[in-house]
Amino acid sequence: MNLTTLIGIIVGVVILGGAIALVVVGLRFSRQNQQDDSDPVMARLAEATQRGETVTLEDIELQQPFMERVVVPVVKRIGEISTRFTPQKLLEETTLKLELGGNPGRMDAATFLATRFLGAAVFGGLLLLISFLSTSRWPLGRVILVVGIFTALGFFFPQLWLQSRINSRQAEVRKAMPDALDLLTICVEAGLGFDAAMAKVSEKWENELSIMFGRLIREVQLGKPQREALRDMADRLGLPELTSFVAAVIQSQILGVSLAKVLRIQSDQMRMKRRQYAEELAHKAPVKMIIPMALLTFPSIMIILMAPAAFQIAGAFGPLLGG
C-alpha cells in the first residue's frame, strides 16, 4: 500500500465521519422542530421516577444513542470553538438570519457555524479522495482548484439553504396575510378583542403566520406587553407587509382609531400587494425561460431543420469521399 492510497483511505474515513455527523445533526434538529424545549435526559429521568424505578442520571445518559451522546456534543463543541475566532458582528447576523428562517431545529449560531465547517470538510474531502483514487493522475493545480471550489460550496451551502428557507417563509406569510386579516376583521367586528381574534386565526390555519400569532399570544399571556410582542413578531420575519400591519395596529391603539377599520384597510392593501407581487413574478418568468430555451429548445430545432440538409450533403459528397 503506497502513501497516496493510505492518505486516500484516511481522508475517506474523515469524510464518512463528517457526513454521518451532518446527517445526525440534521435529523436531530428536524425532530426538535416538533418537540418542546425540555431536556430529553431529564424527561426520561422524570418518567422513570413516576414508574417508581430507581435509576441515576448516568444510567439515563448511557441509554441514549451513541450519536446523541457523542457526535452531537462534538458538533456543538466545534461550533463553540469556531465562535471564538468569528467576529461578533457575523455571529449577530447569523443569529438574526436563523430567527428570520424560523429558527430551524432551534439551532444557535455556534451550531450553524459548525455545520458550515463540516460541510466544507465533507465537500472538499470528497473531491480530494476522488483525486487520490482516480486512475488518471490529476495535476496539482487542478486538484487545488477543484478541491477549493467544492470546499467553498460546502461552506456556503448551509447559508444558501437558510436564505432559501427565509424566502419561502416570507412568501408563505405574504400569501396568507390577506385571508388572515379578513378573519381578524370579522372577529373584531363581531365583538372579540384583538388577542382573541388572533387566537381564532391561530386555530384556523396551520402555517407560518398562525404559528407566529400563537407565539405572540403566549408571550402576551406570560406578561410581555402587547405592543412589544407585536414588534418582536415583525422583527422575527423581516417582511415589510407584516411590519406595516404591526405599525398600523399599534398606531390605531395609540390614537384610538377603530381597529376593525384599520384591519379592513390593511387587508385590502395586502391583497393588492400580493396581486402586484404575482404580476411581478409573471413578468420575470419570460426572462428566466430564455436560458432553458437557449440550451434545450434551440438545439433541437436546429437539428430538425439541418438534418435533411446534412443527409443531402452527405449523399452528394459521399461518392467523392469514397463513402
Going by pLDDT thresholds of 50, 70 and 90, the confidence category of residue 254 is confident
Contact predicate 103/33, CB 8 Å: no
Are 287 and 281 contacting, i.e. CB atoms less than 8 angstroms apart? Answer: no
| DSSP track, 277-318 | HHHHHHHHHHHHTHHHIIIIIHHHHHHHHHHHHHHHHHHHHT
Domains of the chain, each with CATH number or no CATH? 3-137 (no CATH), 171-286 (1.20.81)
pLDDT of residue 65: 62
Question: What pTM, to 2 d.p., does this model score?
Answer: 0.65
Residue range 198-210: average pLDDT?
A: 86
| CA quadruple 23, 26, 29, 33: dihedral, nearest 10 | -120
- Predicted pLDDT of residue 4: 53
The cell for 314 is 452527405
Whether the CB-CB separation of 244 and 266 falls below 8 Å is answered with yes
Judged against a pLDDT cut of 60, whether residue 5 lies above it is answered with no
Q: Calculate mean pLDDT across residues 28-45.
A: 49
List, for residues 187-200, the tens digit of each pLDDT value.
888 888 888 888 88
Q: Is the pLDDT of residue 322 over 70?
A: no
Mean pLDDT of 147-174: 88
pLDDT in tens, 56-67: 555 555 566 655
DSSP per residue, 12-68 = HHHHHHHHHHHHHHHHHHHHHTTS-SS-HHHHHHHHHHHTT----HHHHHHTS-HII
86 against 272, higher pLDDT:
272
Q: Enumerate residues 6+ apart whose C-beta is below 8 A from 241.
A: 173, 174, 177, 270, 273
